[in-house]
Structure 1
Amino acid sequence: MILTVTLNAALDATWSVDSLRPRTSHRVDTAQERAGGKGINVARVLVALGRDPVATGLVGGATGRRIRDGLRNARIRNAFLEVIGESRRTLAVVSRDDGDATVFNGRGPFVTAPEWHLFRQHFAALAAGARVVVLSGSTPPGLPADAYAQLIRTASAAGAHTVLDTSGPALLQALAARPDVIKPNTEEITAATGCEDLPRAAAALRALGARTVVASAGADGLHAVTPEGTWRAAPPEQLSGNPTGAGDACVAAIAAGLEAGSAWPDILRTAVALSAAAVPCPVAGEVDAAVYHRLLTRVSVEKVPAAPADAGPE
């Protein structure tokens, strides 16, 4: 079983406009709203792949109830713990003329120390039945700086693989717990290491504790530093659309591959194709199955020399 963790779940709204221009009004052509947060988006993609994940995390208030209702409607098994505060909302405005998305993220509810203690117990029970645990996204106010590190240690002790997709201090704090995989994008890995060279930055984060680093370079594909070697994987073509959910699709592919015991070149090939298949979709958590199958056999995966880990966090 794959367990996805969304500590800062959200009710996501996506608006589509002709083009996004500052300091003017816009007419919204289409608007969608549904349960979101990176871990929930990962769970949606896993369901599309034929998996049966369990989604957990923290929700609260009327917004939290709508998030849970949305998961039930999507037939995603969920085991969220309720907190007193109100879950957050997000807004993504997608511009059709260039496919870019502008995202506004709420902070989320303040989580008290007793609530966090209860969630850790709740999580330990769920992790005991998981082969892979995915921890994604931001953390809500009130959680300790090492919240992800605590969960990673619990999951690892239960024998589960851990996949972490977060950024900033939460990412750096978690490295000491030795997550099996981290998946930063170019901006996140540069901020974490102070190094703009992707291979060197990835090697630096692995030296700090991550067992495998899968770094996303957007339309240019993935650079992966693993215990078995270093690979570069690239899509055969670039697609236009909404790139918001590409990273979550990548994480879903990694989790599914780890659960199946696949080799890293196969995992990366799937991750690139699935990420690309998310771009034509209007909202995160969806993939275009036809695009995925069309690209899968055409993704290039090549082994490359390892870069020295001579970069460090600022």
Structure 2
Amino acid sequence: MIVTITPNPSLDRTYELDALAPGEVNRAGHDRIDPGGKGVNVSRALTAAGHRTTAVLPLGGPPGHLLAELLRRQSIDVAAVPIAGDTRINVSIAEADGRLTKVNAAGPELDAAESAALLSRVAGFTGNGIDWLACCGSLPRGLAPAWYAELVARVHSGGARIALDTSGPALLAALSARPDVVKPNREELAEAVGRPVATIGDAVDAAGELRKRGAQQVLASLGADGMLLVAEDGSWYGSAPVAAVRSDVGAGDASLAGFLGAGGTGPDALAAALAHGAAAVQLPGSVMPTPADLDPAAVAVTADIPLERPLSG
């Protein structure tokens, strides 16, 4: 059983175009609306893979009602915390050449009572047989950077393991609470350590620094260059090349779902993360992969990490 918490969820509207013409009227060939937010996507990917999951969400207004309904249609249990503000709506424009333009709304501001209610709702799942709590995404206005740190401490005291996928001050504040795994991408990793990450070796060093600050494992996404897992019992690097990227919305979240669903530790879990992420980028919008979409044979994982290899981009 894996519980996810998304403090700032969204409805994600995706339009597919041949090419975006700024300043002109553009007509979409296809469009879709999906439940959004990093933890929401993790729950969607877990459900698609046959795992039990509950999504804890602060929800408000008509967008919040629609988000909950869309999740229930996908057989995902929703633990809603009512809020006064409306749940945000994000827009993505996906072009045929793979370029993606995103407009993310700021979202509602939670007051002190709503913040406390959300914290209590999540903490209430501990001691009830959950294996992992995945804390995902940015914090909405009204929640201090230390909010995740308090959540990690509360949930750890109940015996559950914590996966944290956030960035900036919220990530740094939570490290001292010793989350079981953190999942930064390359840019978030560089921001956390205050220096560029230009090679795979740089990423290994930065991940090691996060471990010294308290993270028990670091699952670092390097985009097209693959992923790293740095833990106490070893470090591994893996890649899963894809022929063409259709949309990378939610691909990192699919990776985290694959990692947790495969046990959340070791090279086999890293391989599962890579397979899920590679499948997700080949699907439209934020569609999450099913087992039929995965290609484990395309994944390569090794403990012989190519430290000198430069990262693309």
Same fold (TM over 0.5): yes
Determine the structure 1 residue equivalent to 2:229.
Answer: 224
Equivalent pair of 2:224/2:241 in contact (CA under 8 Å): no
2:237 pairs with 1:235: no
Distance 2:160 2:251 in 1: 24
Distance 1:298 1:254 in 2: 16
1:219-240 CA distances to partner (integer Å, 9 max, x unpaired)? 2210111111011011154432
Determine the structure 2 residue equivalent to 1:106.
Answer: 105
1:188-226 CA distances to partner (integer Å, 9 max, x unpaired)? 111221231211111111111111001111122101111
Equivalent residues in 2 for 1:118-267 (5 A)?
A: 118-129=117-128, 130-195=130-195, 196=197, 197-258=202-263, 264-267=266-269
Amino acid at match of 1:227: E
Determine the structure 2 residue equivalent to 1:16.
Answer: 16
The structure-2 alpha-carbon separation of the partners of 1:191 and 1:25, relative to structure 1 and needing over 3 Å to count, comes to farther
Alpha carbon RMSD of aligned pairs, Å?
1.7
Determine the structure 2 residue equivalent to 1:310.
Answer: none
Determine the structure 1 residue equivalent to 2:276.
Answer: 274
SS at match of 1:148: helix
Determine the structure 2 residue equivalent to 1:40.
Answer: 40
| Structure 1 position 15, deviation (Å) | 0.7
Superposition TM-score, scaled by structure 1 size: 0.91
Distance 2:49 2:276 in 1: 10
Deviates more, 1:115-124 or 1:231-240: 231-240
| Structure 1 position 55, deviation (Å) | 0.5
Equivalent pair of 1:249/1:285 in contact (CA under 8 Å): no
Equivalent pair of 1:281/1:288 in contact (CA under 8 Å): no
Superposition TM-score, scaled by structure 2 size: 0.91
Distance 2:75 2:248 in 1: 24
| Structure 1 position 263, deviation (Å) | 5.0
1:24-69 CA distances to partner (integer Å, 9 max, x unpaired)? 3321111111221111111111011111101102111121111111
Equivalent pair of 1:250/1:274 in contact (CA under 8 Å): yes
SS at match of 2:124: helix
Equivalent pair of 2:259/2:265 in contact (CA under 8 Å): no
Equivalent pair of 2:110/2:143 in contact (CA under 8 Å): yes
Determine the structure 2 residue equivalent to 1:312.
Answer: none
Deviates more, 1:16-25 or 1:206-215: 16-25
Amino acid at match of 1:154: R
Distance 2:82 2:306 in 1: 44
Equivalent pair of 2:237/2:301 in contact (CA under 8 Å): yes
Distance 1:239 1:227 in 2: 35
1:90-124 CA distances to partner (integer Å, 9 max, x unpaired)? 1111111x212111111111111111112222111
Q: How many equivalent residue pairs?
A: 301
SS at match of 1:268: helix
SS at match of 1:103: strand
| Structure 1 position 23, deviation (Å) | 3.5
Provide structure 1 residue ranges, at least 5 long, that are not aligned to the other structure.
Answer: 308-314
Deviates more, 1:21-30 or 1:263-272: 21-30
Deviates more, 1:20-29 or 1:56-65: 20-29
The structure-2 alpha-carbon separation of the partners of 1:29 and 1:301, relative to structure 1 and needing over 3 Å to count, comes to same
| Structure 1 position 22, deviation (Å) | 3.3
Equivalent pair of 1:3/1:132 in contact (CA under 8 Å): yes
